[in-house]
Amino acid sequence: MSLPGIEQVAFSKIKGITPETAGAILAAVGSEAEFFRMSERELAELAGAGSHIFAASYREGLLCEAEKELDFVARNGIRCLYFRNQDYPARFQNVPDAPLLIYAKGDTDFNARCAVGIVGTRHATVYGQKLTRDLVAGLGELVGKDVVVVSGLAYGVDVAAHLAALECGMPTVAVMAHGLDMIYPAQHRSVAADIVRRRGAVTTEYGCRTRVHRSNFLARNRIIAALSDCTVVVESAFKGGALVTAKVAQNYGRDVFAFPGRVGDVYSEGCNTLIRKNVAALVTSASDVVDMMRWERSAKPVEKSLFIEYTKEEQAVVDCLQGRDLVQINELSALLKMPVHKLLSVLFELEFKGAVSVMPGNCYRLV
């Protein structure tokens, strides 16, 4: 794995720099190394004006940061995708505020044929979780297992999208709002590890030691939109980060889709608004997304497994539901002699596997 030079990493750390500005500077000075070699006076003369980024102390600070960064990425097997290199995401080419460099842990091909951003509320309902699972599974069946699912590893819809991709054997990319020396939320560390192990990647524009800050999440949303051919909003309240991602994707000229919800449902209000304002096209299934994107469908449908593997607790729940129409959760808890809090966790996993469905009144039945 080849890493960029220290000058390239340092150059990418210039605050607020865009690919257009970076290209103009490099066209004038010749290379990143020259930018750091030249004196402040020489740079000002070339530019026709002074700038704080030409100050020797500022540039020395960038080189010092870059040296630490390169040590960290080398020790941790992290890829650096620089805007002048071949492995830089091609989808960034027409994004005016794309980062000059992103860091990635994992082997995902950022230039895969199809990439879909899936976003939504952190407070996903059962309806939203099921839509997310069905969407990802449907894309895998209709288009192929190489479709890359992009999201932000947050609670709710984000992590549901990542987990669905892992379940279907599809690569997924988690875009972080901090450096790769940590994972936020910490509860999703194991999910991040699975993503890296299974053809996915955890990626960020932020260097190590960058901590969680609210503004970083808003900036992170543009990376999700930029890495994706289209963005699907599954569930969202009237305000939220998912709506920001949708607007950014629209500004980038990318397709935006949203699932409709019932009038009056808090976490469908955002999606319904996007559809009503023609920001997003209404979709009800993976098939709708595939048709609107005009993605080529797989010549041979991917066969579903005939047998679902259950844990001991899951098998006990399935056996108990067998032959019954609807069973209320408290009744199920009594029948199984299993605490409700533990039963809820088992039922969630069974929902994810498509074995049970939840009905009004916290009633469950086999699918």
pLDDT single digits (tens) 182-191: 999 999 999 9
299 within some domain? no
Average pLDDT over residues 247-267: 95
179 SS3 class: coil
Percentage above 90 pLDDT, the chain? 81
176 φ, ψ (degrees, to nearest 5): -100, 160
Q: What pTM did the predictor assign?
A: 0.80
Average pLDDT over residues 71-77: 94
- For the ranges 52-56, 80-84, 297-301, the lowest mean pLDDT is seen at 297-301
- Say if residue 259 is in the same domain as residue 281: yes
pLDDT at 332 over 60: yes
The pLDDT of residue 2 is 66
Q: How confident is the model at residue 25 (pLDDT cuts 50, 70, 90)?
A: very high
302 within some domain? no
263 SS3 class: coil
Average pLDDT over residues 288-310: 77
Report which of residues 4 and 276 the model is more confident about. 276
Task: Dump pLDDT digits (tens) for 168-220.
Answer: 999 999 999 999 999 999 999 999 999 999 999 999 999 999 988 989 999 99
**Other Cβ atoms within 10 Å of 38 Cβ, number:** 18
Last-in-domain residue among 106, 134, 162: 106
Helix and strand counts by DSSP (H, E) for the chain = 15, 12
- Say if residue 119 is in the same domain as residue 215: yes
Domain count, the chain: 3
Average pLDDT over residues 63-87: 95
The pLDDT of residue 324 is 87
Last-in-domain residue among 53, 80, 106: 106
Contacts from 314-320 at CB under 8 Å and sequence distance 24+?
314/346, 314/349, 314/350, 314/353, 314/355, 317/343, 317/346, 317/347, 317/350, 317/356, 318/350, 318/355, 318/356, 318/366
Task: Dump pLDDT digits (tens) for 79-134.
Answer: 999 999 999 999 999 999 999 999 999 999 999 999 999 999 999 999 999 999 99
Percentage above 70 pLDDT, the chain? 97
Q: How confident is the model at residue 48 (pLDDT cuts 50, 70, 90)?
A: confident
Q: How confident is the model at residue 286 (pLDDT cuts 50, 70, 90)?
A: very high
- Say if residue 43 is in the same domain as residue 14: yes
Tell me how far apart the 2 most distant CA atoms of the chain are, in Å.
Answer: 83
| Token output for 182 | 């940590």
- For the ranges 99-108, 175-184, 273-282, 321-330, the lowest mean pLDDT is seen at 321-330
pLDDT at 352 over 80: no
- Say if residue 258 is in the same domain as residue 362: no
Q: How confident is the model at residue 273 (pLDDT cuts 50, 70, 90)?
A: very high
- Say if residue 44 is in the same domain as residue 18: yes
304 within some domain? no
- Say if residue 275 is in the same domain as residue 258: yes
Q: Which are the contacts of 217, defined by CB distance < 8 A and separation ≥ 6?
A: 152, 177, 241
The pLDDT of residue 325 is 84
- Say if residue 90 is in the same domain as residue 125: no
User: d(Cα 212, Cα 227) in Å, to the nearest integer?
Assistant: 21
- Say if residue 263 is in the same domain as residue 120: yes
- Say if residue 88 is in the same domain as residue 166: no
40 within some domain? yes
The pLDDT of residue 3 is 78
The pLDDT of residue 300 is 58
Q: How confident is the model at residue 337 (pLDDT cuts 50, 70, 90)?
A: very high
Last-in-domain residue among 106, 129, 155: 106
253 within some domain? yes
Residue-number span of the structural domain to which 342 is assigned: 312-366
Which of these, 95, 114, 158, lies nearest to 289 by C-alpha position?
Answer: 114
Q: What is the CATH number of the domain that holds 324?
A: 1.10.10.10
- Say if residue 89 is in the same domain as residue 197: no
129 within some domain? yes
Q: How confident is the model at residue 302 (pLDDT cuts 50, 70, 90)?
A: very low
User: d(Cα 264, Cα 108) in Å, to the nearest integer?
Assistant: 40
The pLDDT of residue 323 is 86
Summary mean pLDDT of the chain: 93
- Say if residue 62 is in the same domain as residue 86: yes
The pLDDT of residue 186 is 93
- For the ranges 169-178, 253-262, 332-341, the lowest mean pLDDT is seen at 332-341
